[in-house]
A and B are shown apart, each in its own frame.
Chain A
Amino acid sequence: MSGLQEKVLHDRGCMERLLLALSVNVSAMFRDPGFFCVFREQVVPWLRTYPFIRIWCAGCSTGEEVYSLAILLQEEGLYDRCRIYATDMNEAVLRKAKEGLFPLALMREYTTNYVKAGSLRSFSDYYAAAYDHAMFRPSLKKNVVFAQHNLVTDGAFNQFNVIWCRNVLIYFNASLQARVHRLLYESLIPFGLLCLGRKESLRLTPHEKDYEALAGDEKIYRRMR
């Protein structure tokens, strides 16, 4: 055990491998298509009122949500006004996210999701098939900053119009969730929007009363004070 501790503390690669083994890094593009529909219908019109938009994908893992968001913003003609901060605690998954390479075998599932998400074009416009991978257009990451950030130990680093933190906090216990929610709250501009996963809630946050839910079943909350 002490040998492992030594390695983990001093060997960066070893620490990364341990983190990878201990953390959950499963995602899908356009997961929960209904969320994307609501985002398009209710959030995009509000974002249009801003000349410059900052969005944080907190706990972005291998980037599936980041590319989905980028596609949506491009289709809505908002991408050039946006900067997306995509962060994860794990450098290895961030490197993967930055590559924008996803297994070709998943494209069928993602295409189905994409169509259900109320999208406007053909999903295959966004990638080129290369052997058994789909390489997503570099233009999708033009305004994306990939950076290492640990939701538990690192603090606020900017103020955002929108934060996506979907199905990340489910892996934290109640007290850790409360702590991270403080960080998310502090990282939103007034009237900024916090987007959680479909089965997450604000119940465990110290800031529940500071938010108002947007209409509908999706977990999109507006910071009211």
Chain B
Amino acid sequence: MAFALVVVGASLGGLHALEILLAGLPAHFPLPVAIGQHRREDADDALCVALRRRSALPVGEAEDKDAIVPGRVYVAPAGYHLLVEEGRFALSTEAPVAYARPSIDVLFESAADVYEAGVIGVILTGASKDGSQGAARIKGRGGFVVVQDPRTAEGSVMPAAAIAATDVDRILPLAAIAPCVAALSRSGRR
């Protein structure tokens, strides 16, 4: 069975890491990509503007009940949790989880609950442990987890926490992650 969705979590140092990741995905990348990047609650869409410059895929902040469309990149808006539902995104202003809103765990766990083994989770650089529980949930449902090699990450805490929390599938230097995800999207195999 083919993969259906890529979820990405990043925190400290995430802008640079996301630029590299998105720049490495081809224009015909067949899956939707949802990104949870920690940032200030009142941040504007500068992150999207920056990512758009590097991405061959359309990039935008997710709005409530947006349809999940293949080949598009959705960024969790600042100050909201981004959740995955059947074919759509939903937003929430519930309290920050582990000081983070958007919370990477919330994004990953909701994705795993809906798309189960169809989820590819990617944990990038960061200085918090957010995302480790979500990565474990994705693995628990049969999905695939790729983690940036902590030695190559600006913030090693987040990838290290994910590696400690679950049996991840790949630990890769930043530049190798996009090719890996692109290959997984083509292989249609888990």
Contact = CB atoms under 8 A, between A and B. Distances in A.
A96 to B, nearest CB: 16
A199 B42 CA distance: 13
A26 B65 contact: no
A95 interface: no
Contacts of A170: 64-65, 90-93
Given A199-B61, A199-B62, A24 B93 contact: yes
Interface in B33-80: 42, 61-65, 77, 79-80
Interface residues of B, number: 16
Interface stretch (A27-35, A40-48, A140-148, A157-165): A27-35
Interface string A1-41: 00000000000000000000000101100011110000000
Contacts of B94: 24, 26
B93 A32 contact: no
A169 interface: yes
A204 B65 contact: yes
Interface in A177-207: 177, 197-201, 203-204
A102 to B, nearest CB: 15
Given A169-B64, A174-B65, A201-B64, A33 B42 contact: yes
- Chain B CB within 10 A, most for which of A32, A116, A169, A198: A198
Tell me whether chain B's interface is mostly helix, strand or loop, or mixed.
loop
Contacts of A32: 42, 79
A167 interface: yes
B114 interface: no
Contacts of A167: 91, 93
B95 interface: yes
B17 to A, nearest CB: 24
A174 B105 CA distance: 25
Contacts of A33: 42
A174 B67 CA distance: 11
A171 interface: yes
A197 B90 CA distance: 13
B61 A24 contact: no
Contact of B95 (A26, A174, A203): A26
A26 B61 CA distance: 22
B93 A27 contact: yes
B77 A171 contact: no
A165 to B, nearest CB: 12
Contact of A24 (B62, B63, B79, B92): B92
Contacts of A197: 64, 91, 93
Contacts of B64: 169-170, 197, 199-201
A40 B91 CA distance: 26
Nearest to A204: B65
A128 B13 CA distance: 41
A218 to B, nearest CB: 12
A201 to B, nearest CB: 5
A177 B91 CA distance: 14
Interface string B93-137: 111000000000000000000000000000000000000000000
Given A31-B79, A33-B42, A116-B42, A200 B63 contact: yes
Nearest to A200: B64
Interface of B: 42, 61-65, 77, 79-80, 88, 90-95
Q: Which 3 A-B pairs have the closest CB atoms?
A: A170-B64, A170-B91, A167-B93
